């Protein structure tokens, strides 16, 4: 990404045409990053128990509390929970401080919820967590299989590269996902399998390939081990396509056609992501996928290979520094030789010698008091962890909770004793690694905001205050990077995949201009784009390992009448919305938390499209709007993971999911298959509030807030009596004007300072609420004219206004109203024509499936 600060201080961004990953393209979130740079929501100063303090006091408090806790309760009574949104340099310092000097390995990361199963599967199959392919391979493939990956929304730029490959060479695309996602648009086949049956599908494929003779006998003989056991297990598990079809709930012809396609195409890339990883049999499913690539020798050559796509900016960097509790550093584990090597390299006599607690166990240990001080950095576990209510209870009773974040008000931050302001994007300086092992620089282009400091700096200060200064001499990110690179090459004869020893002595100037390149990058060596080209793997004997896989049923009992809740991402939001939630454009496409259900399930439960639903599980419940859609399989529902208590009354995803279903090898929780009950929530009244401030209603019913230009729009509903204007009070400025009509169940109120609208509230027991567009526009005005003021409580503009409606193309801000109008008046019939007329869909392309639907709808209504 190339960013420039304009003369007026505003920031313009565009894709870097020279970067090998995006070649100049940005997705909707990237394009709208400038919206997230305001200071209003930033955490700008350290605080202790809500009191603003200076850095010196904050550092002393953190160091003091960590030291005291360790002195009283031992090293394992402290824990860090960090994230793939840290830069590699931050991550390295965190890992070194905890494992090297606090003497515990209790540091885990949100990668546990994300990539842990891929890491474990890679280690078993390749002997190292080293991804074989490069992004180019998706353009060189003839068949792309997307397994549990909504690439179109979650990796839109890579998806564009897949589609470019299809355009250029007719690449076929198969999507394996229970839902009909945006990635299915543009695909040739969609296997809408039953959740959690992927291992059976790939076991069946292994059997089919072996029986059809589509195996690479030479590759298997020379470069692999363990085929017999894996094939025996697969045969017992998935003897025939008929059996697979029955288990996966798919038509047998579809299974057979996919198998035949796979068998006859040599250039296959199998892309997999959270549908595979976030499962209690995630690691086995990863290996079932690797197995078919080993059997066919489809690895280590152009256009082929298994490809785990990572999610966070620096998920990979975290894996490299050993951010997971069961890793040490630089891809080393807790084998005695590694412990000894890292101990010597760091000169750290108290180096932890055994793995620490993985995320779920870590927060359970906080709950039971074994862990008494926890430092959460760059992640929001009060939302994203399973059984988030437990996580919140645990943090609420923990002696010391330290939270480092760039944003002031987060669900997790509200539970902190000590809050530390971190540098954010635009200020951060360091490196990140992406899915294809490419290390890129992230350079600051704005000064630090307020007293925010880089995470590596904060931890370096704490380490020094705790007396470990000699091991933490860093003055710049380059200092940290060089040490990290040196450790990767230290006593590395090629047995350890991760080796960037070639960068261990780069100068500050070279670090500054470092151009993106993949690892390994050994001393005297060149960056290595594709791995395993010589058929040698990182196991002791150099052979890849087949792993026997036996599928297991879903980990949680599904009671009659319950639905299986699938969870995941939306196109324009990022995780817990702390940053994307600040952008009006990004918040417009999907403004409220929506539960997708199949028409049959909706009918059985009396749920209506656009109505509200109550969702319940044994650990918690939620309220969301309902969308009835055939994109869901019957018996299943989908809810986005993004909403938090900051944005809605009750729809925190982690509160619905229990933490009992965890992969036994990777420790990754199953976040996509929770049985839930769903019933209608009958609203006795509905309404909305438009305000300059991010008001959080407390009426106990439904609400959902989103950013709009100049403020916030909050949709409201409740199941009790219509609140009177006194019940429904907010701490808002300004004089009020009211209109209420008890008989009609109507309440309207506006808050004004002079002629400036501060807020307005519209409630109604009988529907009939005005549109939001004009009222929202009033927030952008410093003053209302007399006609607007008179019309205010009617909610209707005195003059006609154009309302863009819901944003469809977030890159260019094109709304549904404008799209439909242009499609109808200019008789546009293709996505290309729409793109020429309005630019919509011509940047990241992730709205193209939606534009296609809008064109189809418009054509249908023309015919009608
Ligand atoms: N817009 C956006 N993009 C993002 C992110 C974001 O927050 N927003 N986050 C980033 C991060 S950190 C990550 S990890 C990636 C995640 O990227 P993805 O893994 O693509 O995203 P998800 O939506 O979590 O899940 C992918 C799909 O798994 C499917 N699935 C559920 N259960 C099963 C199953 O049993 N089998 C199969 N085969 N599929 C199943 C779901 O229906 C869903 O469509 O996205 C990254 N990109
Ligand atoms: N049900 C369900 N749960 C899920 C998932 C799912 O699919 N379904 N997906 C899981 C996955 S794959 C992931 S990756 C997680 C993501 O879940 P989280 O990691 O909890 O989500 P984020 O919102 O990305 O949290 C990042 C936090 O770091 C802050 N931040 C950003 N940059 C910096 C920085 O440089 N320094 C510091 N100190 N703070 C910073 C942000 O403001 C934000 O508060 O959620 C997981 N949970
Ligand atoms: Mo992730």
Is the CB of 149 inside a 6 Å radius of any atom of ligand 1?
yes
Contact 267, 304 (CB under 8 A): yes
Q: Which band of pLDDT confidence, cut at 50, 70 and 90, is reported for residue 275?
A: very high
Contact 235, 205 (CB under 8 A): no
Task: Choose among 658, 600, 599, 648: nearest CA to 625.
Answer: 648
DSSP 436-454: TSEEEEE---SPPPTT-B-
**Residue 269: its pLDDT value, please?**
98
**Residue 697: its pLDDT value, please?**
87
Is the CB of 671 inside a 6 Å radius of any atom of ligand 1?
no
Paired tokens of 653 = 């995803």
Contact 592, 650 (CB under 8 A): no
Which atom number of ligand 1 is nearest to the Cα of residue 274? 19
- Among 46, 84, 379, 419, name the best residue to mutate to test ligand 2's pocket (greatest count of ligand atoms within 8 A of Cβ): 379
Which 8-state DSSP code applies to residue 669? B
Distance, in Å, from the CA atom of 386 to the CA atom of 859, rounded to the nearest integer, reads 44
Are 706 and 597 within one domain? no
Are 768 and 828 within one domain? no
Is the CB of 578 inside a 6 Å radius of any atom of ligand 2?
yes
HSE toward the beta carbon, residue 819, CA cutoff 13 A = 31
Q: Which of 639, 664, 680 is the last residue of a domain?
A: 680
What pLDDT digit, counting tens, does each position of 833-848 carry? Answer: 999 999 999 988 889 9
**How do beta strands 702-708 and 612-617 pair?**
unpaired
Whose CA is closest to atom 15 on ligand 1? 311
What average pLDDT does this structure show over 449-467?
98
Looking at every residue in the chain, the average pLDDT score rounds to 95
Whose CA is closest to atom 23 on ligand 1? 568
**Residue 604: its pLDDT value, please?**
98
Is the CB of 274 inside a 6 Å radius of any atom of ligand 1?
yes
DSSP 777-818: HHHT-SS--HHHHHHGGGT--SS------SEEETTTTEEHHH
Is the CB of 178 inside a 6 Å radius of any atom of ligand 1?
yes
What average pLDDT does this structure show over 122-131?
97
Task: Starting from the CA of residue 42, give the closest ligand.
Answer: 2
Are 606 and 635 within one domain? yes
User: Is residue 549 assigned to a domain?
Assistant: no
**Residue 802: its pLDDT value, please?**
76
What pLDDT digit, counting tens, does each position of 315-347 carry? Answer: 999 999 999 999 999 999 999 999 999 999 999
Distance, in Å, from the CA atom of 390 to the CA atom of 226, rounded to the nearest integer, reads 42
Q: Looking at the predicted structure, is the pLDDT value of residue 179 above 60? A: yes
Is the CB of 312 inside a 6 Å radius of any atom of ligand 1?
yes
Q: Looking at the predicted structure, is the pLDDT value of residue 801 above 90? A: no
Which atom number of ligand 2 is nearest to the Cα of residue 657? 1
Q: Which band of pLDDT confidence, cut at 50, 70 and 90, is reported for residue 766?
A: confident
Lowest mean pLDDT among 116-125, 291-300, 675-684, 732-741: 732-741
Q: Which of 680, 712, 729 is the last residue of a domain?
A: 680
**Residue 799: its pLDDT value, please?**
87
Q: Looking at the predicted structure, is the pLDDT value of residue 228 above 70? A: yes
Distance, in Å, from the CA atom of 564 to the CA atom of 673, rounded to the nearest integer, reads 5
- 423 alpha carbon, distance to own chain's centre: 20
Whose CA is closest to atom 28 on ligand 2? 378
What pLDDT digit, counting tens, does each position of 497-520 carry? Answer: 999 999 999 999 999 999 999 999
User: Is residue 482 assigned to a domain?
Assistant: no
Task: Choose among 302, 297, 273: nearest CA to 115.
Answer: 273
* Torsion on CA atoms 250, 256, 257, 262, rounded to nearest 10: 110
What average pLDDT does this structure show over 291-314?
97
Is the CB of 706 inside a 6 Å radius of any atom of ligand 1?
no
Task: Starting from the CA of residue 276, give the closest ligand.
Answer: 1
- Among 154, 177, 642, 668, name the best residue to mutate to test ligand 1's pocket (greatest count of ligand atoms within 8 A of Cβ): 154
Is the CB of 490 inside a 6 Å radius of any atom of ligand 1?
no
What average pLDDT does this structure show over 540-554?
97
Are 374 and 413 within one domain? yes
Could you tell me where the DSSP H helices lie in 46-197? 55-73, 88-95, 116-126, 136-140, 151-154, 156-169
Are 121 and 110 within one domain? no
Is the CB of 110 inside a 6 Å radius of any atom of ligand 2?
yes
What average pLDDT does this structure show over 291-295?
98
Report how far ligand 3's centroid is from the alpha carbon of 256 (Å): 32
HSE toward the beta carbon, residue 355, CA cutoff 13 A = 18
Is the CB of 501 inside a 6 Å radius of any atom of ligand 1?
no
Is the CB of 176 inside a 6 Å radius of any atom of ligand 1?
yes
Q: What CATH number has the domain bearing residue 90? A: 3.40.50.740
Residue 157 or 804, more confident: 157
- Among 28, 274, 585, name the best residue to mutate to test ligand 1's pocket (greatest count of ligand atoms within 8 A of Cβ): 274
Q: What percentage of residues in the chain have a pLDDT greater than 70?
A: 99
Q: Looking at the predicted structure, is the pLDDT value of residue 728 above 70? A: no
What pLDDT digit, counting tens, does each position of 466-493 carry? Answer: 999 999 999 999 999 999 999 999 999 9
Contact 678, 663 (CB under 8 A): no
User: Is residue 338 assigned to a domain?
Assistant: yes
Task: Starting from the CA of residue 282, give the closest ligand.
Answer: 1
Q: What CATH number has the domain bearing residue 605? A: 2.40.40.20
User: Is residue 95 assigned to a domain?
Assistant: yes
What per-residue string of b and e applies to 314-340 under the rule 16 or more CB within 10 Å gives b?
bbbbbbbbbbbbbbbbbbbebeeebbe
Paired tokens of 75 = 């090293």
Is the CB of 415 inside a 6 Å radius of any atom of ligand 1?
no
Q: Looking at the predicted structure, is the pLDDT value of residue 272 above 60? A: yes
Is the CB of 406 inside a 6 Å radius of any atom of ligand 2?
yes
What average pLDDT does this structure show over 792-805?
86
Contact 760, 792 (CB under 8 A): yes
Q: Looking at the predicted structure, is the pLDDT value of residue 727 above 70? A: no
Is the CB of 378 inside a 6 Å radius of any atom of ligand 2?
yes
Farthest CA pair distance, the chain? 85
Report how far ligand 1's centroid is from the alpha carbon of 110 (Å): 15
Per the DSSP assignment, residues forming a β-bridge with 126 are none
Is the CB of 118 inside a 6 Å radius of any atom of ligand 1?
no
What average pLDDT does this structure show over 748-764?
92
Q: What CATH number has the domain bearing residue 840? A: 1.10.10.1100
User: Is residue 37 assigned to a domain?
Assistant: yes
Report how far ligand 3's centroid is from the alpha carbon of 669 (Å): 12
Q: Looking at the predicted structure, is the pLDDT value of residue 864 above 60? A: no
Report how far ligand 3's centroid is from the alpha carbon of 575 (Å): 8
Are 94 and 120 within one domain? no
Is the CB of 372 inside a 6 Å radius of any atom of ligand 2?
no
Are 251 and 373 within one domain? no
- Among 115, 116, 177, 575, name the best residue to mutate to test ligand 2's pocket (greatest count of ligand atoms within 8 A of Cβ): 575
Which atom number of ligand 1 is nearest to the Cα of residue 310? 14
Are 606 and 717 within one domain? no
Which atom number of ligand 2 is nearest to the Cα of residue 380? 20
Which residues have CB less than 5 Å away from ligand 3 (the ion)? 114, 311
Whose CA is closest to atom 24 on ligand 2? 575
Q: How many domains is the chain partitioned into structurally?
A: 6
Is the CB of 273 inside a 6 Å radius of any atom of ligand 2?
no
Distance, in Å, from the CA atom of 580 to the CA atom of 29, rounded to the nearest integer, reads 7
Whose CA is closest to atom 11 on ligand 2? 114
- 654 alpha carbon, distance to own chain's centre: 13
Are 353 and 403 within one domain? yes
Are 36 and 12 within one domain? no
Report the residue count for the chain: 864
SS (H, E, C) 582-629: HCCCCCCCCCCCEEEECHHHHHHHCCCCCCEEEEEECCEEEEEEEEEC
Q: What CATH number has the domain bearing residue 190? A: 3.40.228.10
Cα→Cα distances 150→32, 132, 185, Å? 21, 21, 11
Contact 237, 550 (CB under 8 A): yes
Domain housing 573: 563-680
Are 208 and 279 within one domain? yes
User: Is residue 619 assigned to a domain?
Assistant: yes
Q: Which band of pLDDT confidence, cut at 50, 70 and 90, is reported for residue 232?
A: very high
**Residue 767: its pLDDT value, please?**
84
What pLDDT digit, counting tens, does each position of 24-59 carry? Answer: 999 999 999 998 898 889 999 999 999 999 999 999
Q: Which of 308, 330, 364 is the last residue of a domain?
A: 308
Which atom number of ligand 2 is nearest to the Cα of residue 428? 35
Report how far ligand 3's centroid is from the alpha carbon of 84 (Å): 8
Q: Looking at the predicted structure, is the pLDDT value of residue 643 above 90? A: yes
Lowest mean pLDDT among 136-150, 266-280, 431-445, 801-815: 801-815
Is the CB of 85 inside a 6 Å radius of any atom of ligand 2?
yes
Is the CB of 275 inside a 6 Å radius of any atom of ligand 1?
yes
Distance, in Å, from the CA atom of 471 to the CA atom of 489, rounded to the nearest integer, reads 19
The neighbour count for residue 618, using CB atoms within 10 Å, is 13
**Residue 543: its pLDDT value, please?**
98
- 756 alpha carbon, distance to own chain's centre: 39
Is the CB of 148 inside a 6 Å radius of any atom of ligand 1?
yes
Whose CA is closest to atom 16 on ligand 1? 311
Is the CB of 404 inside a 6 Å radius of any atom of ligand 2?
yes
pTM of the predicted model, to two decimals? 0.96
Whose CA is closest to atom 32 on ligand 1? 275
Are 726 and 780 within one domain? yes
What average pLDDT does this structure show over 662-682?
98
DSSP 76-118: GGEEEEE-TTS-HHHHHHHHIIIIIIIS---EEEGGGGTTHHH
User: Is residue 738 assigned to a domain?
Assistant: yes
Task: Starting from the CA of residue 569, give the closest ligand.
Answer: 1
Which atom number of ligand 2 is nearest to the Cα of residue 569? 7
Whose CA is closest to atom 44 on ligand 1? 150
User: Is residue 737 assigned to a domain?
Assistant: yes
Q: Looking at the predicted structure, is the pLDDT value of residue 861 above 80? A: no
Report how far ligand 2's centroid is from the alpha carbon of 383 (Å): 9
Is the CB of 153 inside a 6 Å radius of any atom of ligand 1?
yes
Residue 588 or 358, more confident: 358
**Residue 740: its pLDDT value, please?**
77
């Amino acid at each position: 990404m190339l960013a420039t600060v304009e003369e007026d201080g505003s920031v313009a961004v565009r894709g870097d045409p020279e970067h090998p990953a995006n070649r100049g393209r940005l997705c909707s979130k990237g394009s709208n990053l400038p919206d997230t740079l305001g200071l209003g929501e930033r955490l700008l100063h350290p605080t202790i128990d809500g009191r603003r303090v200076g850095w010196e006091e904050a550092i002393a408090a953190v160091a003091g509390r960590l030291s005291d806790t360790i002195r009283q309760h031992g090293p394992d009574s402290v824990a860090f929970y960090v994230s793939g949104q840290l830069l590699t340099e931050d991550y390295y310092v965190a890992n070194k401080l905890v494992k090297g000097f606090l003497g515990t390995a209790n540091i885990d990361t949100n990668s546990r919820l994300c990539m842990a199963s891929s890491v474990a599967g890679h280690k078993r199959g390749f002997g190292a967590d080293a991804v074989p392919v490069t992004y180019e391979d998706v353009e060189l493939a003839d068949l792309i299989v997307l397994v549990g990956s909504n690439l179109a929304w979650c990796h839109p730029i890579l998806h564009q590269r897949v589609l470019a490959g299809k355009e250029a060479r007719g690449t076929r695309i198969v999507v394996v996902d229970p839902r009909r996602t945006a990635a299915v648009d543009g695909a040739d086949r969609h296997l809408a399998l039953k959740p959690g049956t992927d291992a059976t599908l790939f076991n069946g494929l292994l059997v089919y390939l072996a029986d059809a003779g589509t195996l690479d006998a030479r590759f298997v003989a020379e470069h692999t081990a363990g085929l017999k056991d894996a094939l025996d297990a697969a045969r017992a598990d998935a003897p025939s396509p008929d059996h697979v079809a029955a288990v996966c709930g798919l038509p047998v012809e579809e299974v057979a056609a996919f198998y035949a396609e796979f068998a006859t195409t040599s250039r296959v890339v199998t892309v997999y992501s959270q549908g595979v990883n976030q499962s209690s049999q995630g690691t086995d499913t990863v290996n079932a996928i690797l197995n078919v690539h080993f059997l066919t020798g489809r690895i280590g050559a152009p256009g082929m290979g298994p490809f785990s796509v990572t999610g966070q900016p620096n998920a990979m960097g975290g894996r490299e520094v050993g951010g997971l509790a069961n890793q040490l550093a630089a891809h080393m584990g807790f084998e005695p030789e590694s412990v000894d090597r890292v101990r010597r390299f760091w000169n750290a006599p108290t180096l932890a010698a055994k793995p620490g607690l993985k995320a779920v166990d870590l927060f359970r240990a906080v709950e039971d008091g074994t862990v008494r001080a926890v430092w959460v950095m760059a992640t929001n576990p009060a939302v994203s962890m399973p059984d988030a209510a437990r996580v919140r209870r645990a943090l609420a009773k923990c002696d010391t909770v330290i939270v480092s974040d760039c944003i002031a008000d987060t669900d997790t931050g509200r539970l902190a004793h000590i809050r530390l302001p971190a540098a954010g994007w635009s200020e951060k300086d360091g490196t990140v690694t992406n899915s294809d092992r490419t290390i890129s620089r992230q350079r600051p282009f704005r000064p630090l905001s307020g007293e925010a400091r880089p995470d590596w700096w904060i931890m370096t200060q704490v380490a020094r205050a705790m007396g470990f200064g000699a091991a933490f001499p860093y003055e710049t990110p380059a200092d940290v990077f060089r040490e990290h690179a040196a450790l990767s090459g230290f006593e590395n004869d090629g047995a350890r995949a991760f080796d960037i020893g070639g960068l261990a002595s780069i100068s500050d100037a070279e670090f500054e201009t470092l151009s993106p390149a993949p690892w390994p990058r050994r001393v005297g060596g060149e960056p290595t784009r594709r791995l395993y080209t010589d058929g040698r793997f990182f196991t002791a004997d150099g052979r890849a390992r087949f792993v026997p896989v036996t599928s297991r049923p879903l980990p949680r009992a599904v009671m009659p009448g319950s639905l299986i809740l699938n969870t995941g991402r939306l196109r324009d939001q990022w995780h817990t919305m702390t940053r994307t939630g600040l952008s009006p454009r990004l918040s417009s496409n999907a403004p409220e938390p929506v539960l997708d259900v199949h028409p049959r399930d909706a009918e059985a439960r009396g749920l209506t499209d656009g109505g509200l639903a109550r969702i319940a599980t044994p650990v918690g419940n939620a309220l969301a709007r309902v969308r009835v859609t055939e994109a869901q399989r019957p018996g299943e529902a989908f809810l986005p993971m993004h909403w938090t208590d900051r944005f809605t009354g009750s729809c925190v995803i982690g509160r619905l999911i229990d933490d009992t279903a965890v992969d036994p090898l990777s420790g990754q929780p199953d976040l996509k298959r929770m049985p839930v009950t769903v019933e209608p929530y009958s609203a006795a009244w509905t309404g909305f509030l438009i305000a300059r401030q991010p008001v959080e209603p407390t009426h106990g019913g439904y609400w959902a807030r989103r950013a709009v230009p100049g403020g916030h729009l909050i949709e409201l509903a409740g199941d009790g009596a219509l609140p009177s204007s006194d019940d429904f009070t907010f701490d808002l400025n300004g004089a009020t004007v009211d209109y209420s009509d008890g008989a009609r169940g109507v309440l309207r109120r506006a808050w004004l300072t002079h002629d400036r609208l501060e807020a307005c509230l519209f409630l109604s027991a009988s529907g009939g609420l005005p549109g939001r567009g004009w009222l929202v526009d009033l927030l952008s005005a410093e003053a209302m004219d007399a006609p607007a003021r008179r019309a205010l409580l009617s909610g209707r503009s005195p003059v006609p206004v154009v309302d863009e409606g819901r944003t469809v193309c977030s890159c260019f801000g094109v709304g549904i109203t404008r799209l439909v109008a242009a499609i109808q008046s200019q008789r546009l019939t293709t996505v290309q024509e729409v793109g020429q007329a309005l630019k919509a869909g011509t940047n990241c392309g992730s709205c193209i499936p939606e534009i296609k639907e809008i064109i189809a709808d418009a054509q249908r209504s023309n015919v009608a």
